[in-house]
């Protein structure tokens, strides 16, 4: 599946907030934080409980943004 027609209005970039990393609605919660929590086994309800100022759409857009970035970035992997 290719991510197209992105509506990522909750993902913000500001050099003065977390060094310009993609954040959720200008807060000091990065997309990477959300993705890391999910990768560690946290569920959406777990994340919303730990970060009560987040909304379900924030998590959804973080996932969409991360998926889009992996499709748009090529990495050279070393042979094993």
Output the tens digit of pLDDT for each of the chain's 80 residues. Answer: 455 567 899 999 999 999 999 999 999 999 999 999 999 999 999 999 999 999 999 999 999 999 988 886 566 777 66
pLDDT confidence of residue 15? 95
pTM score of the predicted model? 0.81
Answer yes or no: is 80 within a domain. no
User: Backbone phi, then psi, for 32, in 5-degree steps?
Assistant: -60, -35
β-bridge pairing 11-12 and 23-24: antiparallel
Local structure of residue 69 (DSSP, 8 states) = H
For residue 60, give both structure tokens: 């959804």
Quote the Cα angle for 69-75-76, to 5°: 175
Q: Which domain holds residue 18?
A: 11-72
Question: Which domain CATH number covers 51?
Answer: 1.10.10.10
Number of domains in the chain: 1
For residue 63, give both structure tokens: 């996932």
Answer yes or no: is 50 within a domain. yes
Answer yes or no: is 6 within a domain. no
């Amino acid at each position: 599946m290719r991510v197209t027609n992105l509506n990522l209005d909750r993902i913000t970039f500001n050099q003065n907030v977390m060094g310009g990393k993609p954040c959720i609605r200008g807060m000091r919660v990065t997309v990477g934080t959300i993705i890391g929590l999910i990768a560690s086994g946290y569920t959406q309800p777990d994340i919303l409980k730990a970060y009560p100022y987040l909304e379900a759409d924030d998590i959804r857009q973080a996932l969409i943004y991360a998926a889009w970035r992996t499709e748009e970035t090529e990495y050279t992997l070393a042979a094993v």
